[in-house]
Amino acid sequence: MPCPRCSCPACAPKRNPHPAYVRTHWGDEGDWEKRKSAVPSVQAGPLIVLGELVRVDYRTVKAGDGESVYFHHFGPRALPWLAFNGSGLFIAGGGYRVTTRGIVG
């Protein structure tokens, strides 16, 4: 419950969580400050492919589980590409999708 007199980020209420985020994070609504940060744009220029993405590691917090580090090794078929443009990094293509079970494909 946020403090009634405080507006610090730790006490700020969570606002308008995206349903897909809530579904894939076991009901957690996420961090408002991270959600409003800048997002790379494909309109910022052509994507330059760095290579095939064979593994991804990420840290997240899921409701009831606390902070966890996940490691996903992509199989040999339909590998996604790691690419960039002037606005940031992208994961493009591949035969994978994100479900409530995680990255599958």
pTM score of the predicted model: 0.61
Residue 20 pLDDT: 65
Own/partner contacts of 70-73, CB < 8 Å, gap of 24 or more, are 70/102, 72/102, 72/103
Residue 4 pLDDT: 45
- Provide the mean pLDDT of the chain: 77
Based on the fold, state whether residues 52 and 21 are members of the same structural domain: no
Based on the fold, state whether residues 9 and 46 are members of the same structural domain: no
Based on the fold, state whether residues 44 and 60 are members of the same structural domain: yes
Based on the fold, state whether residues 33 and 22 are members of the same structural domain: yes
Based on the fold, state whether residues 3 and 30 are members of the same structural domain: yes
Asked whether the beta carbons of 15 and 58 are under 8 A apart, the reply is no
pLDDT, one tens digit per residue, over 35-60 is 566 677 888 889 999 999 999 998 88
